[in-house]
Structure 1
Amino acid sequence: MGSPVPFVWFRMAASGVHTKSKVTVHKEVWDFLNKETPSKLNRLREDNGVRILIDGETSEIYVLRLSFDSQVPANTISIVRKALKSLLRDAEKELKKSCKQHQISGCMAYADKNSEHAGELHLRNVYSRGQQSTSGRGLPGSSSGGASGSHGNSRDHRREEAEDDRENQCPICLGEIQNIKTLEKCQHSFCEDCITRALQVKKACPMCGRFYGQLVGNQPENGRMLVSKDSSLLLPGYEKYGTIIIQYVFPPGIQGSEHPNPGVRYPGTTRVAYLPDCPEGNKVLTLFKKAFDQRLTFTIGTSMTTGRPNVITWNDIHHKTNCTGGPQLPLVQAVPHVRTPDLQTTHSYKWTPGCWFGYPDPTYLLRVQEELRAKGITAD
Structure 2
Amino acid sequence: MSNCLQDQQLPNFSCSVVSLSILDLSDNYFQGPIPSSFSNLTCITFLDLSNNNLNNSIPSSLFNFSHLTSLFLNDNNFSGQIPNISHKSNTLEELDLSNNNIRGELLSTLSNLQLSYLDLSSNELSGQIPSSLFDLTQLSYLDLSSNELSGQIPSSLFDLSQLSNLDLSSNKLSGQIPSSLFDLTQLSYLDLSYNNLEGPLPNKITGLSNLTALFLHDNLVNGTIPSWCLSLQSLLNLDLSYNYFTGQLTTISSYSLETLNLDNNKLHGDIPESIFNLVNITYLLLSSNSFSGFVKFSLLFELPNLRFLDLSKNTQISLNCESNANYTLSRLWALDLSHIDLTEFPKLSGQVPDLRFLDMSNNKLGGRVPNWLFEINRVRHLEDNWDENEGFE
TM-score by length of 1: 0.23
More helix by share: 1
More strand by share: 2
Greater length-normalized contact order (CA 8 Å, ≥ 6 residues apart): 1
TM-score by length of 2: 0.22
